[in-house]
Every structure is written in structure tokens, then in C-alpha cells.
Amino acid sequence: MSDILPIVLHPHRALRQVAETVTDVDAAVASTLHTMLETMAQANGIGLAAPQVDINKRLVVIQPEVEGEPGNRKAKSATPPLLMANPEIVAKSDEMIDSEEGCLSIPRVFDVIPRHAWVKVAYVDEHGNPREVEGEELLGRCLQHEIDHLNGVLFIDHLSRLKRDLLAKRYNKILPDFVEDTPYPFTQES
């Protein structure tokens, strides 16, 4: 079993960098994707981008179909996770849908964010094979959220300045409790 990676917390510099393209999906990249998947599961997440674990590569893992309560979730056996290198949105609907989002790098903060109702994403899988996936509802939202991370964009960037300021105040209040109580490793930039 691989090690769990520490998840970086906002405002860590890694969250604002545009991630580098993966030039070769080799054994090391596949191993990183599997370690990211374990890290995401440990943190009870449904998606994780490499910048969230301070890796400046265009890598994403997603497991949107889970069952169980937070803290005791597991993937539905019939739904394999997506392990993606260089994911790119190649088509999207004009229709937008508002829904609540959160982020492992901005813990315990949620708000309603508009996203495309449907997206098609091209990527390279952990074996180096080109693939495509279409997503709507939670999968579509998760694909868009994680690809945003690869471009240095956080879900809070889709909010008005006023809402961002209010969320920042709330985040700064809850962060000390999170730091004390969190069940997974994290990193804060000093």
C-alpha cells in the first residue's frame, strides 16, 4: 500500500499554479495516481487533483459514486474510479446548473456554484491509453471542479467578491478546529 499524501490547505501556493502537462504516463505516474486515490479515500473525498497534494502535474482522480456516511465511505464496487492524466474538457452543454460544492483544500466550507450541466473530457488513463468520459450531475461537476484545480482555479473563484470575503471569514474561524480534529494529513503554507 502506498503512503497517504498530505493535502494542501488554502491559501497554499500550489493551489494557484497552472499544473504541467504529463509527457509520459509511466509506472511512476500510475503509482502517483493510485497514491492520490488512497489519499482521497482517506480524506472522504470524491475527487482530488495533483496540485492539492503539492504535485505540479495534470493528474486527477475521481470516485463520485460512494456509499456510506462521511468518515465511513467506500466506493460502489460496480463503479471504477477515474485515474486521469491531462484531462481536458472537449465539449460542454450551454445549460448551467447551480449546486453546492466543497473542497478538500478548503475544508468545511461550501457554497452553490454554477457549472455546465454536461461535459465531455478527454484524458489518458493510468496505462497510457487515450480515453473519454462524459459526465453530468455529480460526475460532471466533479470533472469541472478538478480540472479547475489544474488551472489554479478554486471553486470559491466562481463566487462574487462579497461571497468570497464572507467564506474567507468563516474559513478562518473554523480552520483551527479543523487542524486539531482532522483525520487525514494536511499541509499549511506558513
CA dihedral angle for residue 102, residue 190, residue 33, residue 74, rounded to 10 degrees = -40
> What are the cell numbers at 106?
478548503
Catalytic residue among 38, 88, 136, 146: 146
DSSP bridge partners of 119: 92, 135
For 3, phi then psi, to 5°, come to -75, 155
| CA distances to 7, 97, 175, 185 from 180, in Å | 15, 35, 9, 11
Q: Where are the alpha helices (DSSP H) in 24-160?
A: 27-42, 137-150
Residue 126 annotated among the catalytic residues of the structure: no
Catalytic residues: 146
